[in-house]
Structure 1
Amino acid sequence: MRPLRFVALGDSLTEGVGDPVGDRWRGWAALLARGLAPADAAVEFTNLAVSGAQTRDVLERQTPQALALRPDVVSVVIGVNDTLRRTFDIRSVAERLDTVYAAFRARDTLVMTACLPDPGSMLGLPGALARPLARRQRAVNTVVHALSERHGALHLHAAEEEWLTDRALWSADRLHPGERGHRRLALRFHALLAERGVATGAAPSAEPEVAGPTRAASLRWLATAGTAWVARRCTDLLPQLLTLAASEVRHRARGTSARLDLGAAHAVSVALAALSVTEQPDAA
């Protein structure tokens, strides 16, 4: 009997950023892999996630590699980096994710997904800057919810308020989980997999092996590496984000902010409806 095969796709979150072990990242997916089978059984784990990846990268690069490995379980946690680009388009995001999920379900692979908090809230950006990013992340989360249900994926709700308020879960960069946060993700995925009879090994420990970052360490990161990180991520987003922020201010002054939310919700509905129309010939 061959070992259970688990392949992880995604960006820096799944790569393990925030959970260093020696000179490499570990992360929630590696922690989860250990508990998918009993200690005396083997699990083949491959992490294809890459920092900075977007849905296009998962579709065009990571998915073909993963399919070649013939996994039993695959995690697809992606989308935050899409919201940080001026090219963000929820319809394209929906089309890519639908194609990725369908490719694995066609192979009877169990797909794991998750919705995530928005980066603006995590960084503590001013409201006019944070709200457009939050609206984009809500759109991505709505699409992931809908497509997870459509393809029978195992979905983890990870966008709750707890992630925003419990700083013990986060690393110094305030965008990636620290070891405790990665362990929390691994535990929650393990519980969902155990309910389906997939995870048969021991659940990961909730307690970190090393102490979390101090407030001083977090402030040092924000003052040094954090500034550079934001600059890199905002190279093509910042001009558009400033335009979006100006729109936020105008609508707020006029009392018409609801129009922005309605417009985003409409774009999500159109994106999902377009996928349904595309699938009609196959259903017939």
Structure 2
Amino acid sequence: MNRPPTGQRFGAGGDAGARTPQVVRYAALGDSLTEGVGDPAPGGGWRGWAALLADALAPAGAQLLNTSRSGALTRDVALEQLQLAREHRPHVASVLVGGNDTLRDTFDIDRIADHLDTVLRTLHRDGTVLLTACLPDPGRLLGLPALLARPLARRMQAVNTVVHALSHRYAALHLHAAARPWLTDRAAWSVDRLHPNEFGHRLLAREFHALLAGSGFTDSPPPSTVPDTEGPGRLAQAWWMATRGTQWVVARCQDLLPNLLRLAAAEGRHRVAGTATALDLRAHRAALHALAALAPAQPLEAPRDEGAYGLGV
């Protein structure tokens, strides 16, 4: 595949005074978070943080290709979305995925690491500026009991460990989203408690814009954080959880529930024995083992006709 036309390189360590390409191509890979669930588009469907960010990347906006879809796993991004994104020849690509993997009975941190490494390594070698983020665990967002929430949190922490390491390896602009204070603000979340509402999507877009502006990629004004519409009130949120919330969660976790109950039982036994930290250590070691099993990063190859790689105008 041809790289984007070579110009100045942007991203981590890039020149603060570098100019933005006149036509910015942006590819967004991931799941329902990047699809925009929680932020309805005026004409139907979803808008979301990626579209808000695209509008603020250049004076005329960016050419956005959003390959993300609800329910996507890291495997889907590596095997399906990556090729579509590369055909767009993006200057910038965001890769936010992994939350759905933690909700599957087939959770395998080795495979997750391999899929993420494939995606980030490929886009990095194309000269694409990468955006990544660590994510909050679903159990915390849903307010699940500790015995159920803790196993999910442990899985999410393993995924985030991998994302942190690969973001460093491939010079991604990484957002520590899981540590942001607004994650605990109910005003930023939709009624399903797993997706941001319009306000939350705007906050996420603004944070990514700040990373790109800090790297010198853009000097356009950041996205506004003022919502176009009012979010659902507490009564609407309570009504959704009472009438649809449980069904929504079960539909997404149906293959996980039997195993999650076993994980909860093991959690309870370890808590009684005072050895719950052993589970944390085991999960952390598994993530480190998954990273160690990846092939070493290869040096970048310069395009045949030019002596540097990076972004084109």
TM-score (norm 1): 0.95
What is the aligned-residue identity percentage? Answer: 59
Kept after mapping to 2: 8 A contact 1:34/1:201: no
**Residue 15 of structure 1, aligned match among 11, 25, 35:** 35
CA distance in structure 2 between the partners assigned to 1:50 and 1:109 by the alignment: 21
CA distance in structure 2 between the partners assigned to 1:161 and 1:15 by the alignment: 21
Residues 207-260 of structure 1: per-residue CA shift (max 9 Å, x gap) = 111111111111121122222211111210000000000000000000011110
Partner of 1:155: 174
Partner of 2:249: 230
The one-letter amino acid paired with 2:80 is: R
**Residue 258 of structure 2, aligned match among 239, 248, 252:** 239
**Residue 198 of structure 1, aligned match among 192, 217, 222:** 217
Shift of 1:21: 2.0
Partner of 2:117: 98
3-state SS of 1:56 partner: helix
Query: How is 1:78-227 mapped onto 2 (pairs within 5 angstroms)?
Result: 78-160=97-179, 162-227=181-246
3-state SS of 1:224 partner: helix
Shift of 1:3: 1.2
**Residue 279 of structure 2, aligned match among 260, 264, 267:** 260
Shift of 1:106: 1.0
Partner of 1:35: 56
Partner of 1:75: 94
CA distance in structure 2 between the partners assigned to 1:50 and 1:243 by the alignment: 30
* Structure 2 stretches lacking a partner, 5+ long: 1-20, 300-313
3-state SS of 1:117 partner: coil
Identify, as 1 or 2, the structure richer in helix: 1
Residues 52-75 of structure 1: per-residue CA shift (max 9 Å, x gap) = 000000001100000011000000
Shift of 1:24: 1.5
3-state SS of 2:291 partner: helix
User: Which segment drifts farther, 216-225 or 66-75?
Assistant: 216-225
1:26 aligns with 2:47: yes
Shift of 1:115: 0.5
Kept after mapping to 1: 8 A contact 2:22/2:58: no
Kept after mapping to 2: 8 A contact 1:163/1:169: yes
3-state SS of 2:222 partner: coil
* Structure 1 stretches lacking a partner, 5+ long: none
Instruction: Give me the CA root mean square deviation.
Output: 1.3
3-state SS of 2:100 partner: helix
The one-letter amino acid paired with 1:72 is: H
CA distance in structure 2 between the partners assigned to 1:109 and 1:234 by the alignment: 34
CA distance in structure 2 between the partners assigned to 1:79 and 1:35 by the alignment: 26
Shift of 1:201: 1.6
**Residue 65 of structure 2, aligned match among 9, 32, 46:** 46
Kept after mapping to 2: 8 A contact 1:35/1:200: no
TM-score (norm 2): 0.86
